Chain A
Amino acid sequence: MFFLVLVPLLPLLGSALLTLSEGRLAPRLVAFVGVGSVGLSALVATLIAIAFLTGPDQHLTITLWQWIRIGSFAPTVSLYLDPLSLVMMLIVTIIGSLILLYAVDFMAGDEGYSRFFAYMDLFVAAMLLLVLAGDLLALYVGWEGVGLCSYLLIGFWYQDPANGLAARKAFIVTRVGDTGFILGLLLLFTQLHTLQIQPLLAQAQTSWAVSSLPATLAAALVLTGAVGKSAQVPLQTWLPDAMAGPTPVSALIHAATMVTAGVYLIARTHTLFTLAPAVLAAVGVIGTITLLISAFAALNQTDIKRILAYSTVSQIGYMFLALGLGAWGAAIFHLMVHAFFKALLFLAAGAITMRLHHEHNIFRMGGLARRLPLAFWSFLIGSASLAALPLITAGFYSKDAILAAAWAPGGAARLLWLGGIVTAFVTALYIFRAVFVVFFGTAKTEPSGRYSWRVAVPLTLLSVLALGGGLVETPPVLGDITLFSRLLAPVFPTAPPPAPVMLILFTAVISLLGLGLAYTLYWRIGPRFAAWANAPPITAFRTFFAEGWAFDALYHQLVVAPFLALVSANHADIIDRFYTGIAWTCRWLHRRLGAQQTGQIRWYASWIAAGSVVTIAVAVLR
């Protein structure tokens, strides 16, 4: 089982090799190293998964070395494998290698080819460290590592200043959350004297009462980190701008893996959150607000990648909603299924844009169903899974599990359920809006080029996963498969009750209604609806939604503008005045005293004489 070390190590070595070669390797070799290292890591991960699932252990810890020792502060670098990290490890490595394979063609001919794969491999290594870490400090290293790679890859095409701006925005906004997270770590260490995740959680359970102040504070601070990383309200503004990066980056980092790290973190430390019911409720409320806001924002985007970006924010909102209700398994289930279909959607969107001269505006596409059948079917399958079309898609089962968990407790939780069901409707509407606008009607841009197997294979495999990936967990009336929850049972012993039949039917009808409305509005009465929607009073609303409910403008007023005002007021640096004052006084004294040194011997002699007279006078007259 020591082979577990190889899983994060292989991508790290691949990244190091590509970095040290400084782009001198041939593109074929770069692709081989870049994809091969992650592919090999996926293979090792799969073998480990087989050995782990057939073996007797429910979890295992591999301590690599002690990092540092300062008194009682002795964090170790250790890997911890249990069903939860196993699932995450498989998602990261398998989807990662599919996306990297796709990127071989997508990035072909780019001058930063080697740099791209070096960053991507580094990202995979950091993400694997994050999910496998047995120590919160090692987890934090992975956490910051993925943040760094996210920054580097959003600003990958750095010649355009807008991309650099988007990268800095992503980095700074997530930094707000990360600051809370590190404060949480410090609080946990000072209170519980360890950062090893499992002993820490066990000790938290014994030494902290439910709703006690330290538990609530620690959970709230950890939540801050998760909110920043997973782009939830109020730190969601960075993700749509992060689409400035190449499409495989958006697929891997900003859809499938990194942005779900917050969900993983909360699931990993769920014991802490059960000790703080108020914070747990806040998780659910944040998730619900986020999913509503971003679904309406997605409905009004024209850039295909921004639609998917807001959709990602919205779907992670579902996961937070599930976490907030204590349905940890449902959240991880949706995380997995979302990774399948959202990676598929992004890759399909990339497959469209790479054939359309990087055209991102859906209203300049159209009629692509015949011309790009592979992209059409992949996008359609991804959309169906996102919209949770009943029975045939994976998204149906995972979203159903979340909505069932929201329905079950009753009371105020029904409000969360209502938010979820409204969003399910809007989700089907916005994604099929994109489908109808992009793939039907008259063609506005003619595609060029053709796909190789390196694009076709990831799209096909992800399509299969997006359809069939949900069959590991189905409600009682639809087969009653509980593979996934039985797998995660050692980590999450309690599972929410299954959904009643009527609820499943209702959810299915809602998503079909969304599809039907999209069909009516954007296809049957398309031009008439467009004319209505582009009338002045409606456009004002639509602009508000399209700009993400004006959060950027709000933050500009609240944070950026005051900061800039402060900076311009302090242009001369008020604190620095004191130190320049010291230097000024020294220079003034220097000039005064230096002027006494005239070099005139008679001047010195006069002083000696005067001094002697005074000395003698004092000696005599005293």
Chain B
Amino acid sequence: MMTVPLQHALYLAIVLFALGVTGVLVRRNLLFILMSIEIMLNAAGLAFITAAARWGQADGQVMFLFVLSLAAAEVSVGLALIIRIRHRLTTLDADAANLMHG
């Protein structure tokens, strides 16, 4: 069985995270922003799994389960908010939801 080197997995996690951040910052559609956040969460989860495999500890896998449930909760709240915003502003443009500017 071929083992994936630790560093490769971490590089993947970094790339994924960077993709997620870029997505959050550049996309204007709220759905895409939510998806980008999911990617960032999964990047963090991947880093946990990799670390757990490297040191043979179960903590990282437990942590990943937490991240998964957190992501599920976040998505349900986030989607509910998106539905409300869509209902109120008739758009999913994040820049249009700037009613609380100073």
Residues of chain A having any CB pair with chain B under 8 Å: 593-602, 605-606, 609
Contact = CB atoms under 8 A, between A and B. Distances in A.
A598 B98 contact: yes
Interface string B25-64: 1001000010000000000000000000000000000000
B94 A597 contact: no
Nearest to B99: A599
A597 B102 CA distance: 5
Contacts of B100: 597, 599
Contacts of B99: 599
Contacts of B13: none
B88 to A, nearest CB: 14
29 contacts: A593-B102, A594-B102, A595-B102, A596-B102, A597-B101, A597-B102, A598-B98, A598-B101, A598-B102, A599-B97, A599-B98, A599-B99, A599-B100, A599-B101, A599-B102, A600-B94, A600-B95, A600-B98, A601-B33, A601-B94, A601-B97, A602-B24, A602-B28, A602-B33, A602-B95, A605-B24, A605-B25, A606-B25, A609-B24
A593 B101 CA distance: 11
Contacts of A597: 100-102
Given A602-B33, A602-B95, 5 more contacts: A596-B102, A599-B101, A599-B102, A600-B94, A602-B25
Contacts of B33: 601-602
Contacts of A599: 97-102
Interface of B: 21, 24-25, 28, 33, 94-95, 97-102
Most buried by B among A594, A595, A600: A600
Contacts of A600: 94-95, 98, 101
Interface core residue of A594, A605, A606 (most chain B CB under 10 Å):
A605
Contacts, number: 35
A600 B98 CA distance: 5
A547 B80 CA distance: 91
Please list the 6 inter-chain residue pairs (A to B) with the smallest Cβ-Cβ separation, ordered nearest first.
A597-B102, A599-B98, A599-B101, A594-B102, A599-B100, A598-B101
A597 B98 CA distance: 9
Nearest to A606: B25
Contacts of A606: 25
Contacts of A605: 24-25
B95 to A, nearest CB: 6
A606 B25 CA distance: 6
A610 to B, nearest CB: 10
B38 to A, nearest CB: 15
A596 B100 CA distance: 11
B35 to A, nearest CB: 14
A348 B55 CA distance: 121
A601 B99 CA distance: 11
Contacts of B97: 599, 601
A602 B101 contact: no
A594 B100 CA distance: 11
A599 B97 CA distance: 7
B9 to A, nearest CB: 20
A597 B99 CA distance: 10
Nearest to B28: A602
Nearest to B94: A601
A609 B94 contact: no
Nearest to A594: B102
Contacts of B28: 602
| Chain B CB within 10 A, most for which of A601, A606, A609 | A601
Contact of A609 (B21, B95, B98, B102): B21
A130 to B, nearest CB: 64
A596 B101 CA distance: 8
A286 to B, nearest CB: 70
Nearest to A600: B98
A613 to B, nearest CB: 10
B94 A602 contact: yes
A601 B95 CA distance: 7
